[in-house]
Amino acid sequence: MARPCAVVGIGQTKYKRRRDDLSLDGLVREAALRALDDAEVSFADVDAVVLGKAPDALEGVIMPELSLADALGAVGKPIHRVHTAGSVGASTAISAAVLVESGRYDTVLTVTYEKQSEGNATWALSGGKSGGQGAGGTFAPWIREYIRRSGAPEHIGWQVAVKDRQNALKNQYAHLHLHDISVEAVKESPMLWDPLHFLESCPSSDGAAAMVLSSADLVSRSPNPPAWVLGHAKRTEFSSFPGRDTVKPQAGVDCAATLYKEVGITDPRRQIDTAELYVPFSWYEPMWLEGHLIAPDGEGWKMTDEGATALDGDFPVNCSGGVLSSNPIGASGMIRCLEAANQVRGTAGDYQVDGARVALGHAYGGAAQYFAMWIVSSELDPVFS
Amino acid sequence: MTQTVPGFGEPERVVVDCGRMAELFDIDFNLEYPYTRTTGPIIGPFLTGLRDGRILATKVGGRVICPPVEYDPDSGATVGPENLVEVGPGGEVTGWTWVAQPTSKHPFEHPFAFAQIKLDGADTTMLHAVDAGSEDAMSTGMRVVVRFSSDRQGTINDVYFVPGDELPAAPAVDDDAEPVMITEHLIGVRIREPLLPHRRRFVEGLQQGRIIGQRSPVDGKVHVPSRGYDATNRVPMTPDDDVEVADVGTVTSFTEIVPVQYHGQTETEPYIRCSVLLDGADSTVGGIDIRDIKIEDFRVGMRLQMVWRDGDRIGDLDNRGYGLNEEVYERWEPTGEPDVDPERLKEHNF
């Protein structure tokens, strides 16, 4: 049986198109030092560091965990590197939690980042070749297939794009603060990959995110309430094989089912108070609500349509503004995990969901083939009814 | 000289150049990108200093560290610009290696030494180049002194070292030049790899106008192109599993791409990329390039015939692709057959 692990410190940088005031070292340190401050610990208290980011080709720094070790106070300590494409931020959080749960380390600092401005993600994802179709071009046909299957009306995507940007206005760290966002603005923005408009797509951001995780006996050392890690799961499938369902990938279904079982959740929509889902393109909100068993097939878009996923809805999704508002790729999954923790710690500020007790953090990556999810709670052993 | 490819029929169609075949099976790929680096509050002044004729270090916890760092490497504590101090211009070699055959990436075209140099006033060494003339001129413990290049851009290559103690002439400095905040670096790697055997048979097939897939010995599903193994059932596939599929098939998904401009991108106008389930196959060929069919006429379920390109069909097909190279086909044409119901294509859209 694993021993309990809690998030005791959270740190984020301001996300921006280009952080031209900070080196890569400075960027990761900004997030790490804020997480240490929040936990009221120092580098000296940290037993191990777990670093994650998306493919090295994004910045062209190969094996950055080596050059960043000193900057993260890891001299004489183990430093681990995690890499699972776009889901890496959440996978990294899980790897760090496992190091505490296993009993190997008491205090783990985990940091993720991307400095997208130093390279070009579409170039990197195209393998350095001309004619890349990019992430949006890959996902667009699957989104159209979701629309075909579910019969969802076209305004659902626009609605998610507006909701997440309005939430981002309450989050000081969010990259996009689009004060004039509206359904009209979204549908009139350029069509990038039918049905995705420019404003239904994530930005390209620089930024880093960090957490301090600690074992139960050290939780009281930190002043802010802990977010207990109740469970986590990761699943992977191949990008392409005969019989693959790209709209509702089996790995995503299995990941969610395993996680809910581990935590004791039988009715996710009712028993989870809020979720931070990895939604880089608007339509992935209803797709993951269904793909992760929160809504029945064909019903996810109705939750969006009815306002259930709004900040004041019964299942608020991406209250922080989500990936649609900030996308330092390697960190984006960790931001989902730490924003879930912010909600159950009561530290989410203006985008706090009243009384949030149980929250889901989620990320996916690659061709919707890597999944990583965790559930955190204000209670170590909550009762689900 | 030309000759037929052994093992395949119809020699009049199967004509390839021998030299080209050797190239075909040894794939070269050059991956490069002009990355930028934000220099930050310490490396920025260091590079600006090199451009302006001085070498800066940071004073950290009783030590002077050169090149300077933003943090104490022992404790992780922050080190601010107020800790910058000047070191050099002379120093001592604490270790070195002779570079007898410089490459294009090296600072000199002629032989030189890379040395660990402990600059006067510093407690740590900096790795840099010594233009010593000959290996005999190098020794551990020798004195070296900085030289400033005439065309300085604010990079580590703005300086080099020479044996001795003769101070450099004061370099000309442009007092109006901006500090170095961002640097650009063309970083690249050249990869050469042989085509794997299953991939080689696939490419040989294309040369002859045949599309070769592999049928899983476990579930009978046909993979095109094959990876050489059935990933779903975790078994390898052998030449005995090779099967030919049709050059006609059904569109299972598509996207119209508005090209994003990036280094090496040559596309400027929108185009369609689609996946096609070839008749006789269970996996799709992806990334098929459509230029001649209007987006409003394009749909999932549409039947398409591939029109082969005449002559050489060798492209940059590597070991990882899941599509057909654009050099294989001239275009794809609608067959005019009735569409396939998209519901039947659900599990074939990528």
pLDDT at B223: 95
Same domain, B131 and B155: yes
Buried b (16+ CB within 10 A) or exposed e, A216-232: eebbeebebbbbbbbbb
Residue A258 predicted with pLDDT over 60: yes
Range of the domain at A112: 5-121+204-221
From B180, B204, B223, give the residue that closes a domain: B180
CATH at A12? 3.40.47.10
Shortest Cα distance from A147 to chain B (angstroms)? 12
**Residue type for A158, please?**
W
Does residue A333 form part of some domain? Answer: no
Domain count, chain B: 2
pLDDT in tens, A285-316: 999 999 999 999 999 999 999 999 999 999 99
pLDDT at A263: 97
* Interchain CB distance below 8 Å, A240 and B258: no
Q: Which residues of B touch A127 (CB under 8 A)?
A: 31
| Residue that the structure tokens 């009384």 belong to | A355
Using alpha carbons, select from B236, B241, B199 the residue that is nearest to residue B220.
B241
The first and second tokens of residue A34, run together, are: 């804020």
Cis peptide before B338 (omega within 30 of 0): no
Q: How far are the Cα atoms of A68, A70, B58, B124 from residue B74, in angstroms, in the given order?
A: 13, 7, 14, 13
* Interchain CB distance below 8 Å, A117 and B36: yes
pLDDT at B18: 40
Residue A12 predicted with pLDDT over 70: yes
Same domain, B17 and B112: no
ipTM of the complex: 0.90
pLDDT at A242: 86
Does residue A96 form part of some domain? Answer: yes
pLDDT at B314: 63
**Range A164-185 average pLDDT:** 98
Q: Chain B window 184-203: which residues touch A at a Cβ cutoff of 8 Å?
A: 185, 187
Range of the domain at B315: 2-27+195-348
Using alpha carbons, select from A99, A378, A38 the residue that is nearest to residue A227.
A378
**B113, B91 contact by CB (below 8 A):** no
Q: CB distance from A151 to chain B under 8 Å?
A: no
**Range A205-230 average pLDDT:** 97
Which is it for strands B143-148 and B90-99: parallel, antiparallel or unpaired?
antiparallel
pLDDT at B190: 83
pLDDT at A128: 79
pLDDT at B239: 96
pLDDT at B6: 37
The first and second tokens of residue B114, run together, are: 């890379």
Same domain, B158 and B88: yes
* Interchain CB distance below 8 Å, A137 and B257: yes
Same domain, B6 and B56: no
Same domain, B333 and B203: yes
Which residue has better confidence, B315 or A59?
A59
Same domain, B63 and B172: yes
Q: Which residues of A touch B254 (CB under 8 A)?
A: 141
pLDDT in tens, A27-36: 999 999 999 9
Same domain, B45 and B23: no
Q: Which of A186-195, A350-359, B33-42, B260-269 has the lowest average pLDDT?
A: B260-269
From B124, B153, B180, give the residue that closes a domain: B180
Shortest Cα distance from B1 to chain A (angstroms)? 32
pLDDT at B20: 47
Residue A243 predicted with pLDDT over 70: yes
Residue A144 predicted with pLDDT over 50: yes
Walking along chain B (350 residues) 10 residues at a time, the average pLDDT comes out as: 34 39 65 92 97 96 95 92 97 98 92 98 98 98 96 94 93 90 89 86 90 96 93 93 97 89 86 94 92 93 95 71 81 96 87
